[in-house]
Amino acid sequence: MSNLNNNLIYRFGTVALLWAISFMAYGQKPAPLLQNAYHRPSVSLNGQWHYIVDPYETGYRNHRRWEPFDEFVNTKASAAPYWANAKKTAPSQRIEYDFERSPTLEVPGDWNHQQDELLYYEGTLWYERDFSIELQPGQRYFLYFGAVNYRADVYLNGQKAGYHEGGYSPFNFEVTELLKSGLNEIVVRVDNRRSAGRVPGLTTDWWNYGGITREVKIIPVPDVFIQDYMLQLDPEQPAIARGYVQLNEAKPGQTVTISIPEAKLSRTFTTDTAGRAAIVLSAEGLKRWYPERPKRYEVVLQSGRDTLLDQIGFRTIQASGQDLLLNGQPIFLRGISLHEENPMRGGRAYSREDMALLFGWARELNCNMLRLAHYPHNEHAARLADELGLLLWEEVPVYWGINYTNPETYAQAEQQMQSLVQRDKNRASVIIWSVANETPREDPDRLSFLKSMAGAVRQLDTTRLVSAALDRTEDKQEKRVTVTDPFAAYSDMVSVNEYIGWYGSTPERIPQMRWDLSSHDKPFFISEFGAGALYNYRGAREEIWTEDYQAWMYEETLQMLDEIPSLRGMTPWILVDFRSPRRNLPNIQDGWNRKGLISEGGFKKEAFYILRDYYAKKAAQYRYDIKN
Ligand code: GCU
C-alpha cells in the first residue's frame, strides 16, 4: 500500500479520533453535584475576568456552517475559537481577539448592571482569566460554579470541561485531567438568550441578568470521597434522624462516621455494594430548630481520607388536615416574596451580605418565612435562613408559558429541581419545594409535566412539602373565589396567587369576595397578592400608583384573607421593587415592578407598616412552645 494511502489512513484516523474526543468533550455534562461544596476547602476564582461580547458567536461557530467549532477542529490547529485563547506569536499572524487586552467584569456578578451598554444585552459573552494552582498527588479536582445564566460552555487550558444549562443552579466538572500545576487559563462562553425550549421560557416578569452570577472555585477532594449525604428528622418518628452517606465509588464495607460533638453523639456505619451507608441516629438529645430558636449543630461526616463539616438544624414540617405543623405544632407562615436582586447596588444578589440586607428587611416586617421567587437563589440564602431562623419556600422557574410537551424542556426543569434539592436538602430553613408558578391549569400537558416534577421531588425528599403557585378561579357574577386547578390534588398545600383589586378590578371589590375552599382539606396559602406604588407618590386612595392605593389594597386584602378558615400563611408580592423589562410606564415604573413594600432605594412604603402590624398580631395568635 502506497505511502499516500498510509498517510491518508493515518490522517483520517487522527482526525476521526480528535473529532470523537472533541465530540465527547463537547457533549460532556457536569459531574454529580458535590454535596456541601459550601464548606469544602477550595481555591476561589472570583475576581476580575476579561470579557468579549460576541453577539454573532464569532468565537464559537463557523460563520457559514454555524455548527460550534468544538464539534470539529482540534484546538491547536485553529486560533478562531475564542476558547483557544490564541496569542500572536508571529508578526503576520492574524488573530482577531485578545482577552488580555479586553476589559474586565467582576465575577460573581451579572454583566447587565456592571456596564451600561450591557444593561439589555442578551446573547453570548466570553469570560477568561488565568490562575495558578499547585496540584497535590492523590487529589482529584472539581471546578464548581454557583450558577451561570443560562448556558455555560467551559474550557480549561484549551480543552472542553463540559457545558451546563439552567441559569440558577450549581454545577461542577471533574477537571483533574485538564488542570496542571502552575499557570492555567479558563474560558467560559455564556449565553443568556431566552428561548421557548428553556426554563424559564421566552417571557418573565424579571430581568434576564446574564453572566457568571455566582462564585467559581476549584475544589480538591481525595480519590475516594463523600459525594453526597442527607440527614433530617423522620417526620413520622421525630425522635429519629435518618439519612444516608454516598461515596463517589461503589465501594462496599467502607466505614462512615457521623458525629455531633455538642450532643456527644458519634456512630459508625458501613457502606453497601453501591458505596452507600444508611444512617439512623437517635435525636432524643437534639434541640429542635425553630425560627425563634434556630438551633444548628456541627455535624462531622468522616470516611477514609475525607472529612466534611456541616451545620444542620433538626426540625419536622408536616401538613395535617388544614394545619401546617412545625415540630408537631400549628404554625402560621408570616412571609414575603422576594427576587434575588440587590436593589441598592443593582443587579443579581449573590453574597451573604446581599441576602443579609434583604432578610434584615423581612425581619423588620415580622416575617418568619420567605418565598424565594421564582428560581433557586444563591446558597447563602438557605444558609443564612438556617442561621437567622427564617423558613423558606424554594422554587424552580417553571413559570407561565413554557414548552410543556418538549421532553428536553422537561429534562431541564427536572434537572434544575434535582440540583436545588441536592444543594439545600440538609437545610432546616427549607420547608417547601415549589415546582411551578402561574401555569395554565386547563392544559393537560402542563398537568402531567407538573405531576412528574412533583413525583421527582418526592423521590428525592420525603421530609418536606411540595407545592406550586396556582391561579384562582373567580366567579365574577357570584363574587365567589375557588381553586379548581387539578394540580391542587397533587400538592401538600393549596397555594394561590391572587390579585383581586389590582388585575381586573380595584380594591373596593375585595370585601365583596367570598372564598370557598371546602373542596380542599389542606392548608391554604396565598403565594402572592400585591399592588404597584411609586415610593413617596401620595394622593387619594383611589389614585393608582400611590402608596395610598397600595395601602388600601393591603388593608382590604388582609381582612378578606382573615375570613378564610384554612389560611395558614402568605407571601405578599413583594419585599422590594425589582427590575422588569415588562414595566415601562414613564416616571412611575421606568423598567421596575413597583409592587415592592420597599423602594429600590431602600425606603419603606405605607403598606410595609400595615403588613408588619398584621404579622405582629398573627405571631401572638400562633404562639407555640419551644420544646426541648
Ligand atoms: C405574577 C407573577 C410575578 C409577577 C407578578 C406581577 O403573579 O408570579 O412574577 O411579577 O404577578 O404581576 O407583579
Average of pLDDT values for 612-621? 97
The reported pLDDT for the residue numbered 66 is 81
Average of pLDDT values for 118-132? 98
Whether 264 has a pLDDT exceeding 80, the answer reads: yes
What does the pLDDT look like over 336-377, one tens digit per residue? Answer: 999 999 999 999 999 999 999 999 999 999 999 999 999 999
The reported pLDDT for the residue numbered 131 is 98
Q: Which of 68-72, 161-165, 168-172, 243-247 has the lowest mean pLDDT?
A: 68-72
What is the distance in A from the centroid of ligand 1 to the CA of 144? 32
Pairwise CA distance, residues 213 & 349, whole Å: 8
Residue nearest to atom 12 of ligand 1 (CA): 205
The reported pLDDT for the residue numbered 15 is 46
Query: Between these two residues, 62 and 255, which has the higher pLDDT value?
Result: 255
Q: Which residues of 577-586 are buried (b: 16+ CB within 10 A; e: fewer)?
A: bbbbeebeee
The reported pLDDT for the residue numbered 75 is 53
Confidence of residue 63 (pLDDT cuts 50, 70, 90): confident
What is the chain's mean pLDDT, rounded? 94
616 Cβ neighbours under 8 A, 6+ residues apart: 366
Whether 491 has a pLDDT exceeding 90, the answer reads: yes
What does the pLDDT look like over 501-534, one tens digit per residue? Answer: 999 999 999 999 999 999 999 999 999 999 999 9
What is the distance in A from the centroid of ligand 1 to the CA of 338? 11
What is the distance in A from the centroid of ligand 1 to the CA of 342? 18
Contact 56, 149 (CB under 8 A): no
The share of the chain scoring above pLDDT 70, in percent, equals 95
293 burial class (0-12, 13-18, 19+ CB within 10 angstroms)?
Answer: exposed
Atom of ligand 1 nearest to the CA of 373: 9
Question: What is the pTM (predicted TM-score) of this model?
Answer: 0.94
The reported pLDDT for the residue numbered 350 is 98
What is the distance in A from the centroid of ligand 1 to the CA of 572? 11
Atom of ligand 1 nearest to the CA of 530: 13
Atom of ligand 1 nearest to the CA of 532: 13
Pairwise CA distance, residues 257 & 236, whole Å: 25
The reported pLDDT for the residue numbered 12 is 44
Using CA atoms, how far residue 226 sits from 169, 230, 243, 309, 311, in Å, is: 21, 11, 14, 11, 16
Whether 21 has a pLDDT exceeding 80, the answer reads: no
Residue nearest to atom 10 of ligand 1 (CA): 205
Whether 200 has a pLDDT exceeding 60, the answer reads: yes
The share of the chain scoring above pLDDT 90, in percent, equals 91
Contact 586, 578 (CB under 8 A): no
38 Cβ neighbours under 8 A, 6+ residues apart: 379, 383
What does the pLDDT look like over 175-186, one tens digit per residue? Answer: 999 999 999 999
Element (H, E) at 47: strand 47-53
Contact 194, 122 (CB under 8 A): yes
Whether 4 has a pLDDT exceeding 70, the answer reads: no
Which residue do the cell numbers 450591557 mark?
A: 118
Whether 90 has a pLDDT exceeding 80, the answer reads: yes
Atom of ligand 1 nearest to the CA of 437: 8
The reported pLDDT for the residue numbered 74 is 52
- Ligand 1: residues with CB < 6 A are 205, 374, 437-438, 497, 528, 573, 593, 595
Atom of ligand 1 nearest to the CA of 528: 7
What does the pLDDT look like over 571-611, one tens digit per residue? Answer: 999 999 999 999 999 999 999 999 999 999 999 999 999 99
Whether 394 has a pLDDT exceeding 90, the answer reads: yes
Confidence of residue 628 (pLDDT cuts 50, 70, 90): low
25 Cβ neighbours under 8 A, 6+ residues apart: 70, 159, 160, 161, 162
Pairwise CA distance, residues 73 & 295, whole Å: 55
